[in-house]
Structure 1
Amino acid sequence: MVANAGTNEHEWIFTGEELKDIHVLRTGGDYIEVTCGCTSRKYGDTTGRLRIFVGGQLEISCECVESCSEDKLTPAQFESHSVRGQPKKKWQSCIWVLIKDKKVPLCKTALLKYYKETWEGENGRSRPKRAIHRDEFIRCSSCNKERRFSLRTKEECRIHHEASINKHWTCAS
């Protein structure tokens, strides 16, 4: 089934113009599924089914061979699986979808419109939501001890900066 403008049953995710001529396999309650693939110079094309969920998540089921059990892969995992080794880490341009029977990179389509990169790692830990600054040390010119500066707020960063540019900085003790 090819999605045509105006007659699209899943316009709540994408407009008919955005899905025009993309080979849509099926739609679910909260996703659409399209044919996708990744090309390796050494191994050729690996095809799959890309599910795009309303919340922006992307999930790929690999169809490289009938016995392949790779299911629910992230785009980066699919790229790694299809090139059988080290991915280029540019999956947005390496993974393609079929538009008018031509391979078009995901980055050149509207399919990444709602993509939200999740930071959930393989080990189940999530990436911190704010930047973590490392503590810095400056040696006191009076007592010759290294003093720690935690750089977690704007005020702490300012205090550290002022101390670091002062060659004769002394601690409070």
Structure 2
Amino acid sequence: MANNEGEMQCGSMLFKQEELQEMSGVNVGGDYVEVMCGCTSHRYGDAVARLRVFPTGDLEITCECTPGCDEDKLTPAAFEKHSGRETARKWKNNVWVIIGGEKVPLSKTVLLKYYNESSKKCSRSNRSQGAKVCHRDEFVGCNDCGKERRFRLRSRDECRLHHNAMGDPNWKCSDFPYDKITCEEEEERGSRKVYRGCTRSPSCKGCTSCVCFGCELCRFSECTCQTCVDFTSNVKA
């Protein structure tokens, strides 16, 4: 491990030294812990990256699968898709770190401690507001063909994938995080699009039960977009 003892003591604010000492590529920053991670595709092999864990529960991955790869600030789910993993949507088990020379799924490490705490906090907050579902499905249009693709927003990861897509003016069908699709794929029929997951009314066009204007689930402290910056500032105020 490349860190000196002083840095490890600083990092102990997030994790105990013994929890990290067997992990490969540990680097402790001011407000994060970074480790080497990866995801294995049967077709393409191992995609190696660096995972940053923040005390807010946010997980951020910078891919190093090839020397020219410029994918950074990926969610684990987005990295899983980028790696070409065949069985996607199981990033907690498919994304791994090296501990004692062995690949260990994130789900079996301490690295998800703050992520899990954040998810529970959001769930408790939603229940206290009497809301079973606070985010309906949303659609993002392809910059090339104009077809709209559905995004579910039931978890923090899903909200982040939609948030990133909305912030990308060049978003295309091939960037869809859940399935490998092209512009040739048909979009949903209009009669199907009206069903967006509202618990009050299946064909709701938008109400206080399913439209969120900002919460800890769909706003991100490390994001620099104006919407997230304003939300974070208001929460701290």
TM-score (structure 1 length as normaliser): 0.66
In structure 1, C-alpha distance between the alignment counterparts of 2:75 and 2:13, rounded to whole Å: 23
Q: Which residue of 2 is the match for residue 134 of structure 1?
A: 200
Following superposition, the deviation at residue 21 of structure 1 comes to 0.7
Q: Which amino acid aligns with 1:50?
A: L
Check conservation: 1:80, 1:87, Cα contact below 8 A: no
Following superposition, the deviation at residue 2 of structure 1 comes to 6.6
In structure 2, C-alpha distance between the alignment counterparts of 1:4 and 1:23, rounded to whole Å: 15
> Aligned ranges for residues 80-159 of structure 1 at < 5 Å?
80-83=81-84, 88-115=88-115, 116=118, 117=156, 119-120=159-160, 121=162, 122-123=165-166, 132-135=198-201
Aligned to 1:8, the other structure's residue is in SS state: helix
Q: Which residue of 2 is the match for residue 54 of structure 1?
A: 55
Percent of paired sites with the same residue: 48
Q: Which residue of 2 is the match for residue 144 of structure 1?
A: none
CA RMSD of superposed structures (Å): 2.7
Q: In structure 2, do the counterparts of structure 1 residues 94 and 3 end up closer, same or farther at CA, with 3 Å as the change threshold?
A: farther
In structure 1, C-alpha distance between the alignment counterparts of 2:108 and 2:84, rounded to whole Å: 21
Following superposition, the deviation at residue 54 of structure 1 comes to 1.5
Check conservation: 1:3, 1:16, Cα contact below 8 A: no
Q: Which amino acid aligns with 1:135?
A: S
In structure 2, C-alpha distance between the alignment counterparts of 1:97 and 1:2, rounded to whole Å: 16
Q: Which amino acid aligns with 2:114?
A: Y
Q: Which amino acid aligns with 2:89?
A: K
CA deviation map 1:123-164 (0-9, x unaligned)? 26xxxxxx942338xxxxxxxxxxxxx9x7xxxxxxxxxxxx
In structure 2, C-alpha distance between the alignment counterparts of 1:66 and 1:16, rounded to whole Å: 31
In structure 2, C-alpha distance between the alignment counterparts of 1:23 and 1:4, rounded to whole Å: 15
Following superposition, the deviation at residue 3 of structure 1 comes to 7.7
Q: In structure 2, do the counterparts of structure 1 residues 113 and 48 end up closer, same or farther at CA, with 3 Å as the change threshold?
A: same
**Further displaced range: 48-57 or 9-18:** 9-18
Following superposition, the deviation at residue 24 of structure 1 comes to 3.9
TM-score (structure 2 length as normaliser): 0.49
Q: Which amino acid aligns with 2:27?
A: R
> Aligned ranges for residues 6-45 of structure 1 at < 5 Å?
8-9=8-9, 10-45=11-46
Larger Rg: 1
